[in-house]
Structure 1
């Protein structure tokens, strides 16, 4: 568990399923390289939600990998997402204790944060100060084996009123991407 030393809030949840997830991701050939189909899906996520940043994110024990990434510049590099970060570009990798996707994977439920600063548990996350994230909308990618492979998410540097419509949209798009992953797996069999 990771605690904020000042407030003792749990920042990053314990992820008991990480080893099984990594095995499943390797079996599927996911989470180790960017893929044009996932970049295209991230582009669509951004278009549908109107968010400047969107990701198809696979998570292992130590890090997150954006196999699909949309940024305002359209470069799929993530450099503009990390422009405000003191450590430089985020690229397609992020530490597991940064961001909100690890919470979504462990909870196995969608998460809507219209303004992350309204939630003490999430306001202290490093992405708030280092990158400037102010709102988040994400849903888990749970495959046919019951494994939470990762997430799809959208973020903004401004608060966003995602509402119930945003929640239903992100959940529907997550189900759509899981079906795409299943079709991909069936093509390999």
Structure 2
């Protein structure tokens, strides 16, 4: 991870060297380009499980991140967040993808690297919990994540829960992939 650009400015987002290989994989899986009602429902499941106002299923491209699954709770304030698409340098999911590990931030303002992030300033996000979505080929496709507008103590239970949700979702991705590759049954009637 590069912390300083050649200009001496602090970089908040790590360099993602796997993005060029990940992008074709996302296209192959038909992920990361459009909203998906099934993934929206999964994001709602994440929010309900972790009791947060916002949750997402986020896929990381080369230039942007796309929330193919997104949940905005009915009582959550509407400040323009969450958006379906964000630049790669916004938020915390890019860090999860590059690190290839779950990330729990109890209060994002406690971390210099994250405190000045546009998501904090623009939407009031205060806590974040995310886990990588690693497919069977070893690609980290994106994240399952949950955010809150207040500091949260996620603890080991929160980390275990979000990792379990990521495993549940990657099974759904694999099931979809296997279903697309399976030959269609032959209709004995010839119809």
CA distance in 2, matches of 1:12, 1:67: 21
- For 1:184 and 1:157, the matched residues in 2 are separated by 33
State the 1:81 CA deviation. 4.8
CA offsets per residue over residues 81-104 of structure 1, 9 Å max, x none?
526xxxxxx531111100000000
CA contact (8 A) 1:142 1:148 kept: yes
> How many aligned positions are there?
178
TM-score, with length taken from structure 1:
0.88
Find the residue that maps to 2:165 and give its secondary structure. helix
Distance 2:3 2:87 in 1: 13
The residue that corresponds to 1:66 in the other structure is: 67
Q: 1:79·1:91 contact (CA, 8 Å) conserved in 2?
A: no
User: 73, 97, 104: which one pairs with 2:89?
Assistant: 97
CA distance in 2, matches of 1:154, 1:34: 17
Runs of 4+ more than 2 Å apart: 1-4, 7-10, 78-81
Deviation at 1:62, TM superposition (A): 0.9
**Aligned partner of 1:108 among 100, 123, 126:** 100
What is the aligned partner in structure 2 of residue 82 from structure 1?
80
CA shift at 1:17, angstroms?
0.4
Aligned-residue CA RMSD in angstroms? 2.0
Q: How does the TM-score come out when normalised to structure 2?
A: 0.88
Distance 1:62 1:81, change over 3 A: farther
Q: Which has the larger radius of gyration?
A: 2
CA–CA separation in structure 1 for the residues paired with 2:111 and 2:12:
12
